[in-house]
Chains A and B, each alone.
Chain A
Amino acid sequence: MSRRTEFLPNGSLRLALHTLADGVDGGAADGGGTAHPLLLLHGLGEQSPAARPAWTAAWPGPVLALDFTGHGESDVPVGGGYMPETLMADVDAVIAAHGPVTIVGRGLGAWIALLIAGARTASVRGVVLADGSGLAGGGPHPPSPYVTVLGPGDGRTPDPYALIELSRDVRPPDYALDYLRFALEESELETPVVVAARIRPDWLVAIAADVSVTEAPLAEAVGSFVDPLLVSR
């Protein structure tokens, strides 16, 4: 199918949400508990794919893809101010509109996926953390100080402030583990987080080392959430 786009309210701005595939029953729940959407989150500076990636083939439900604020077809805010924690609200807007989701996040999207898995445990039915741009952020400690002022933007994406700010946010391993704990304490899944990324910044080393987290190649990781009772290692 060709990509279909809807726009979700995001304060006074809009978020672009693309449907890359309908579910086997046209997107309706099939009663088996696996027809909720698979939501794809892109990496830093990227945008949603134009078509359903091959590694989603096993997913029986709809496949959605979100353009983060300042990316793709989503609106660009005036004056920047990006934080991963506020991009969580972008994903939360999808949850508000479409209900529970399983998430695959690439790069920056992997970090956001982990955060929202911990923040909205009842609505996030598993996350896959995959390689992609912006996976490391600014590292586990504050990077060298850097402040710059750009002129007013022209509304084009990716927003330069998004590129600057979301490549400098600090991602301490213990902070990542807090969100993993949130997810583990509340999720109905035994293993709500699967690591598919081969590149491992410090925060992802800590996540992957946790006994409650499994590792699998991307397509296999997605498939593991088709049956939500993922077998723990």
Chain B
Amino acid sequence: MPADDQMRSYPGARPPDRTGHIMSSGLRLALNEWGDPSAPMIAMVHGGFDFSRTFDVFAPMIADAGWRVVAWDARGHGDSDHAHLYSWAADVRDHMAAITSLSDEPIVLLGHSKGGGQLLDLLDARPGLARAFINLDGMPSQFSAPDINDRERRRMRRADVAAALDRRRRRNELTRRPDTIEGLAGRRAPMNPRLSREWLEYLVTVGARHDAEGWRWKIDPVLHLGGFGPWRPQWSMDHLAALDLPFLGVLSGVQDDPMGWKSRRGDIEPYLPPGGQLEFHDDIGHFLHIEQPRFIADLVLDFLGRLP
């Protein structure tokens, strides 16, 4: 356990009221909860390279408005088990295992970034799991791929594949590099350039583990940003168009944020489910609920307040 002077606080951040775990085909997924356990349930699914404690400010705002907020760490992330294999489809299945173990009734689902994209897949296959869906900048579209020529795209893919194979060859030797709180926060900053250093240092203390050599992110070192395979962003729009439930989508319009798919309003609107609501904010980055938690929480609560 690190000394008290090694911990950090952050304005509005509140640790979960309850912790536990859920099982997905033998894998243990860490579960965090905020709010009254008898209140209506909303599940929040984090994005890639994040973890459920990244909801430490946002989730209490929703919980304090009368909701039971549940959030789990994806396999290999946060306090969940590291797996031998990782894939988009396996994450989607883990989400289903979590949801069905927490409720027999449809619940509200909220997903950020990759978590939102994965929930689009899940709800197309299992629409009965949700009574409403909120997607925070997790809507890849055909227009969100970078504008590169075929040769360059192939070169990038080839480099990604070779790097992934090299990493798997060395997977038994891989460890996350130890550092100070400030050092880890600094290394994460390029992924989160719009978030304060104070927040990133807080994240270290809830998303990293302390040992004799320092702090190390808990995420499985074999994981890397991106991934590979023939995934196409437009496939997510097929899933979006298939939905038939109350829907709120929120897009970040900040084009120079290194994370996110950069979809624009016009890319998504043609595929919205009937009555779906789409918000576009060109002054909030990809991590909308962290950068502007009160604003996004009020938007979400207004949507929730109008549910039948």
Contacts and interface: CB of A to CB of B under 8 A. Distances in A.
Contacts of B97: 149
A88 B85 contact: no
B187 to A, nearest CB: 25
Contacts of B93: 80, 147-149
B238 interface: yes
B161 A85 contact: yes
A153 B172 contact: no
Contacts of B164: 85, 89
B75 interface: yes
Given A11-B84, A13-B84, A82-B85, A150 B25 contact: yes
B90 A119 contact: no
B124 interface: yes
Given A147-B126, A182-B154, A79 B24 contact: yes
Interface in B153-171: 154, 157-158, 161-162, 164-165, 168-169, 171
A172 interface: yes
A150 B25 CA distance: 6
A34 B90 CA distance: 41
Interface residues of B, number: 46
A181 interface: yes
B266 interface: no
B20 interface: no
Contacts of A175: 230
B11 interface: no
Interface string A92-133: 110010000000000000000001001110000000000000
Interface string B132-169: 00000000000000000000001001100110110011
Interface in A138-161: 142, 145-153, 161
A9 B170 CA distance: 11
B92 interface: yes
A81 interface: yes
B191 interface: no
Given A13-B84, A145-B239, A181 B154 contact: yes
A215 interface: no
Nearest to B171: A11
A77 interface: yes
B153 to A, nearest CB: 8
B85 A77 contact: yes
Interface of A: 9-13, 69, 77-86, 88-89, 92-93, 96, 115, 118-120, 142, 145-153, 161, 165, 168-172, 175, 178, 181-182
Interface of B: 23-27, 75, 81, 83-87, 89-90, 92-94, 96-97, 100, 121-122, 124-126, 154, 157-158, 161-162, 164-165, 168-169, 171-172, 222, 228-232, 235, 238-239, 242
